[in-house]
Amino acid sequence: MLGEDCELVSHVVLDGHLTAGARNRFFSFACVGVAPQDLKYKGEPTGVAMGDDNTIRECVTISRGTEGGGGTTRIGSQCLIMAYTHIGHDSIIGDWCILANGATLAGHVIVEDYATVGALCPVHQFCRIGKHAYIGGGTTITQDVLPFSLTSAKREVHSYSINKVGLERRGFDRQQVRSIHHAFRLLLASKMNIGQALETLRAEGGDSPDVAYLVDFIEKADRGIIR
C-alpha cells in the first residue's frame, strides 16, 4: 500500500506486504519488499513498513522481514537511501538517515535517527548505529557505533571524535556539544577502560540527556562498541 503522492520513476519492483507513507520516491530498478536472503525463510507473510518523504535511489534492495526477527523491516521518514544500497531483513532505519552508495546492511541492523552510513560500508548483522553517528566510506562495521561519533577506517576501524559539525547543523548548542565531547574524552582518550569511564560519567551525574543516552547505549551494546 502506497500513501499519497508517491512516485515510481520506472522499472521499480514493490513486493510482499509493503506499507509506505506519503511522498516517497522510488528510482529505477529499486526492489523494495523482496524476499529476504535468509535460508530459513519459507515464504511467510512478512513485510516492509516505511514512513514519509523518503528517497530510494537506483538499484536499492530492501528485504522484507522474517518471523525470527519480528516480521517487518522498518524505514523511518526523510531518509536518503542512495544507489545500490542493500538493507537486509528485519533491519530498522530511523528518521533523517543517509545511507550512501553501496552501503550494505546485513539482517537485524539498527540505524538510529540522523545517522550517516558512508559509501561501500558493510555492516554486520545485529549491529546498532547510534543517533547522529557518521561512518566514513569503506568502513567495515562489526560492533556497535557510538552515538554522536565520527567512525572511520584508516589502518583499523575506530571512533576518533564526535560529529561536531553534524551536531551543530542539527541545532545542538555549545553546552550540549561540550558535554558530549567530555564524555568522549573519558571513553576514547583517557586511560580508563569502558567500565571505569561509565562509572565516572554516572558519578559525575549532571543533567545532560545526551550523555545519559550515550551511557545507556554502551551498556546495551551486546556486540561491544567501536572505540
Which of 16, 88, 107, 118 is flagged as catalytic?
Answer: 107
Residue of 95, 159, 35, 118 whose CA lies nearest to 110:
95
How many other β-carbons are positioned within 10 Å of the β-carbon of residue 128? 25
51 is catalytic: no
Which of 52, 69, 76, 90 is flagged as catalytic?
Answer: 90
132 is catalytic: no
Which of 89, 94, 108, 144 is flagged as catalytic?
Answer: 89
* Long-range pairs, 210-217, Cβ under 8 A, ≥24: 210/147, 210/148, 210/172, 210/176, 210/179, 210/180, 211/179, 211/180, 211/182, 211/183, 213/131, 213/147, 214/130, 214/146, 214/147, 214/148, 214/180, 214/183, 215/183, 217/128, 217/130, 217/144, 217/146, 217/147
89 is catalytic: yes
| Amino acid code (one letter) for 73 | T
223/204 Cα distance (integer angstroms): 26
Helix (H, G, I), strand (E, B) or coil at 157: strand
Active site residues: 89-90, 107
